[in-house]
Amino acid sequence: MLAPGTIWRRLITHPKTGVLIKTDPTTYKPTAETERHVIARDAACAFPSCQMPAHRCDLDHIQPFNHQDPKAGGPTVPDNLMPLCRRHHLLKHRAGWEVERDPSTGEVRWTAPTGHTYTNPPHTPTT
pLDDT for 111 equals: 97
Domain ranges of the chain: 32-120
Ranges of beta strands (E only) in the chain are 58-61, 81-84, 98-101, 108-111, 117-120
pLDDT for 123 equals: 84
In one-letter notation, the amino acid at residue 32 is: A
Q: Any residues with CB less than 8 A from the CB of 23 and at least 6 apart, and which?
A: 30, 31, 33, 34, 37, 76, 77, 78
Phi, psi angle pair for 99, to nearest 5°: -135, 140
Q: How far is CA 33 from CA 10, 105, 127, in A?
A: 11, 21, 22
Tell me which residue of 101, 97, 98, 91 sits closest to 122, measured CA to CA: 101
| Cross-strand bridge partners of residue 119 | 109
Please tell me the pTM assigned to this model: 0.77
pLDDT for 60 equals: 96
In one-letter notation, the amino acid at residue 46 is: A
pLDDT for 91 equals: 92
Maximum separation of any 2 CA atoms in the chain, in Å: 53
| Cross-strand bridge partners of residue 58 | 84
10-14 contacts at long range (C-beta below 8 A, 24 or more positions apart): 11/40
* Averaged pLDDT in 10-residue chunks for the chain of 127 residues: 62 70 70 91 95 96 91 89 96 93 92 96 76
pLDDT for 115 equals: 96
